Chains A and B, each alone.
Chain A
Amino acid sequence: MNKRTLRGASRRSILQQFGAAAIGVSFAGGLSACGRGGGAPTVNFYNWDTYIGPTTLADFQAATGVPVNMSLFATNDELFARLRAGNPGFDVIVPSNEFVTRMSQAQMIQELDRSKIPNFANLLPEFQDAAFDPGRRYSMPYTWLVLGIAYRKDKMPANFVPNSWRYLFDSPQFTQRIALLSESADLIRLCAKYLGHSVNNIPDEMLTQIEQMLIRQKPHIKAFHEDDGQDLLASGEIDIVLEYNGDIAQLMAGPGGEAFDFVVPQEGTLINSDCLCIPTGAPHLEEAHAFINYLLDAEAGKAITEEIQYPTPNRAVADLMGDAYKNNRVIFPPADVMAKSEYGAFEGDERSRLYEEIFTRVNAA
């Protein structure tokens, strides 16, 4: 037995040496990729599942000869936590707006080389700059999305549209038929919007007010859902839910989808944008830029948008899309409510922790 462990130990050290050699190789590969555009050509893409066209990766490989290796995460928080201790080798990641700011402040993502992304010109002018990433130094927009109220039409009073956050946050009308997204920051920001404030710079006394409002509303809420609100709605467990427009557009496009509808409340809402970024320490810089550029291409973008049915920030893509997409008021909410809507800014980690504690208290109350 003793011998066996010894042998195991030596095998482990051999493995370590082998590992060190492999690191050296991949590091050298990354360097040469930087310098000459050669080396081990592959793109390690870290994305949400089904958030890509069915053939996009294969098409990119056919066009450039570079294979794409896609791994998956489920939330921004997971993505951030996964990369916090260092980049294990990802080349392109897809964080949302707030996390672009957070990760750029933490130097977890690197500046993009605009000269290698000529398809930047395809973007709509309003997406060529962003408050969460001034000058678009770190990120390229991939999609954008808004939170709103999805509901089952035949469970509403006649000719009734729940076009205010009141029905979710501050009213017993749909008691025990409501589900809210269990994202502390989103909930608190939307409550502030309902109370007539911006989603950012919420004063402390308003936070207290919001906490009390949510605790008061709690008996009427059936569940806090994990971004699977569309499933709760479809199964008839609830009638009205806080969800993203893209999820509901997919639900409404499917069979039986005519039973549901989606509205962005008159008070305005939170806008989010999923962006393409390159994490610090990415081993294949050249290929990563080429891949981002490819995703912003008109034809490639069209294939992606047709699959995922999310609003695109890409003018060249939008021009290629049919009217059914362009005129879909779930995917593109009316201009008047969009004008009242805002991006949630990253206001420091202290703020996220405060929001989280408020949510814990609401849950525990």
Chain B
Amino acid sequence: MEQTWRQAKAAFAAISIPPIAWLLLFFIVPMAVIWAYSFGENTGPVTIDFTGTFSNYMRAAEPLYLEIFWKSVLVAGLTTILCLLVGFPVALAIAFASPRMKAWLLLLIMLPFWTNLLIRTYALIAVLREQGYVNFTLEWLWSNASGLMTLVGLQPLGEFEPLTLLYNNTAVVIGLVYVHLPFMVLPLYSALDRMDRSLMEASLDLGAGHMRTIMQVVVPLAAPGIASGILITFIPALGAYLTPDLLGGTDSQMIANVIERQFKRANDWPFGAALSFMLMYLTFIAIAVQALVQRRSERRR
């Protein structure tokens, strides 16, 4: 059960002051200025008056921007689901590996992400493009299959048409999964590692299959890890701008692209601030609702 802070005042102070102070000074204070901008008006190329206007939010709530918002949520949601489907088995494998193997697997998963995002995205383009390795492999398979068919006296296949894997929304999702996979694997691994195995053994002993054991024993035990993985994958994916810029087609813009352009090209900081804070208000509401639900369920217990 949670302690109230009164029970251990000294410990509470020691634990809570550093992070809260840091957050306050180096995050809340800078963001407060931007928050104020969201209620301001541009009065010149570099000057903003704090007029308390809601016009920036009114504009951010126009259907044009709400639709982009919604589309970004869908893309980020799909990315998160794919990351979870891929990341869970990988995290399971890491958590149940020998210590030596574990270190290597963790490193192997993380290593690609220590290479610059831009270069990594370029490398992904080189793999996926029309004259890239995926298409080269497919072409090779195609021509061999075609040769095989002539050998057995069938019509050869037509000419190979390279698949268009880039510059569309699929490419954006593939790219986002590629970029955000560690955000899912790491929290899952941290939740699964050194988990109480007696429950799993009991389940297996009682005749449940592996799938069933994983779904009904492991997943519930790892639920907090899954929740945190979803949180820290979904939200950064929602704010992605480079991947849609470089891999997307003409209709792949996401909300972060629009926000970025407000702060840069359009030189419209108040509107960019309003769009950014729309994202944050939504998160704040989601977290508050979650806290309420949790408190209610705890009380029921």
What residues of chain A have their CB less than 8 Å away from a CB belonging to chain B?
A: 1-2, 5, 8, 75, 77-78, 80-81, 84, 102, 105-106, 108, 176, 182-185, 218, 221-224, 226, 235-237, 349, 352-353, 356-357, 359-361, 363-365
Interface residues of B in 1-37 (CB under 8 A from A): 10, 13-15, 17-18, 21
Bound Cα distance A235, B67 (Å): 34
**Contact call A223/B130, Cβ cutoff below 8 A:** no
Which chain B residues lie closer than 8 Å to A182 at the CB level? 245
- Distance of A118 from chain B, by nearest CB (Å): 32
**Contact call A108/B46, Cβ cutoff below 8 A:** yes
Which chain B residues lie closer than 8 Å to A359 at the CB level? 261
Contact of A1 among B15, B131, B262, B264 (CB under 8 A): B15
Nearest first, the 8 closest Cβ-Cβ pairs linking A and B are A1-B14, A77-B264, A356-B266, A106-B45, A363-B253, A223-B167, A353-B266, A106-B46
| A-B residue pairs in contact (CB < 8 Å), sample of 24 | A2-B13, A2-B14, A8-B18, A75-B264, A77-B265, A81-B264, A182-B245, A221-B250, A222-B249, A223-B166, A223-B248, A223-B249, A223-B250, A224-B250, A235-B126, A236-B129, A236-B131, A237-B130, A349-B268, A353-B267, A353-B271, A361-B64, A364-B64, A364-B251
Contact of B265 among A8, A236, A352, A363 (CB under 8 A): A352
- Distance of B125 from chain A, by nearest CB (Å): 8
Which chain B residues lie closer than 8 Å to A105 at the CB level? 45
**Contact call A353/B268, Cβ cutoff below 8 A:** yes
**Residue B258 at the chain A interface, CB threshold 8 Å:** yes
Which chain B residues lie closer than 8 Å to A353 at the CB level? 266-268, 271
Bound Cα distance A185, B126 (Å): 30
Which chain A residues lie closer than 8 Å to B125 at the CB level? 235
B236-265 interface code vs A (CB 8 A; 1 in, 0 out): 000000000110111101000110011111
Contact of B166 among A221, A237, A357 (CB under 8 A): A237
Bound Cα distance A221, B252 (Å): 13
**Number of cross-chain contacts by CB at 8 Å:** 96
Bound Cα distance A184, B129 (Å): 26
Which chain A residues lie closer than 8 Å to B45 at the CB level? 102, 105-106, 349
**Residue B228 at the chain A interface, CB threshold 8 Å:** no
Contact of B129 among A226, A235, A365 (CB under 8 A): A235
Bound Cα distance A229, B67 (Å): 29
Which chain B residues lie closer than 8 Å to A356 at the CB level? 261-262, 265-266, 268
Which chain B residues lie closer than 8 Å to A102 at the CB level? 45
**Contact call A236/B250, Cβ cutoff below 8 A:** no
Give the size category of B's interface with A: 35 or more
- Distance of B90 from chain A, by nearest CB (Å): 31
Bound Cα distance A81, B263 (Å): 7
**Residue B68 at the chain A interface, CB threshold 8 Å:** yes
**Residue B146 at the chain A interface, CB threshold 8 Å:** no
Nearest-neighbor residue (CB-CB) of A107 within chain B: B46
Contact of A184 among B67, B245, B265, B268 (CB under 8 A): B265
Bound Cα distance A353, B251 (Å): 20
Which chain B residues lie closer than 8 Å to A8 at the CB level? 18
**Contact call A364/B253, Cβ cutoff below 8 A:** yes
- Distance of B21 from chain A, by nearest CB (Å): 7
Which chain A residues lie closer than 8 Å to B246 at the CB level? 226
Nearest-neighbor residue (CB-CB) of A360 within chain B: B258
Of B21, B64, B267, most A-chain CB atoms within 10 Å: B267
Interface residues of B in 68-120 (CB under 8 A from A): 68
Bound Cα distance A359, B250 (Å): 11
- Distance of B213 from chain A, by nearest CB (Å): 42
Which chain A residues lie closer than 8 Å to B17 at the CB level? 2, 5
Nearest-neighbor residue (CB-CB) of A2 within chain B: B14
**Contact call B251/A237, Cβ cutoff below 8 A:** no
Given known A221-B250, A224-B250, contact A235–B131 (CB-CB < 8 A): yes
Which chain A residues lie closer than 8 Å to B64 at the CB level? 360-361, 364
Bound Cα distance A176, B249 (Å): 10
Given known A2-B13, A80-B267, A352-B266, contact A236–B130 (CB-CB < 8 A): yes
Which chain A residues lie closer than 8 Å to B126 at the CB level? 235
- Distance of B4 from chain A, by nearest CB (Å): 20
Bound Cα distance A78, B164 (Å): 32
Which chain B residues lie closer than 8 Å to A184 at the CB level? 261, 265
Bound Cα distance A176, B14 (Å): 61
Bound Cα distance A237, B162 (Å): 11
Nearest-neighbor residue (CB-CB) of A223 within chain B: B167
Contact of A237 among B68, B129, B258 (CB under 8 A): B129
- Distance of B108 from chain A, by nearest CB (Å): 29
Bound Cα distance A353, B269 (Å): 11
Nearest-neighbor residue (CB-CB) of A85 within chain B: B46
**Residue B158 at the chain A interface, CB threshold 8 Å:** no
Which chain B residues lie closer than 8 Å to A223 at the CB level? 166-167, 248-250
Which chain A residues lie closer than 8 Å to B166 at the CB level? 223, 237
**Contact call A360/B267, Cβ cutoff below 8 A:** no
Of B250, B262, B264, most A-chain CB atoms within 10 Å: B250
Given known A106-B46, A223-B248, contact A5–B21 (CB-CB < 8 A): yes
- Distance of B45 from chain A, by nearest CB (Å): 4
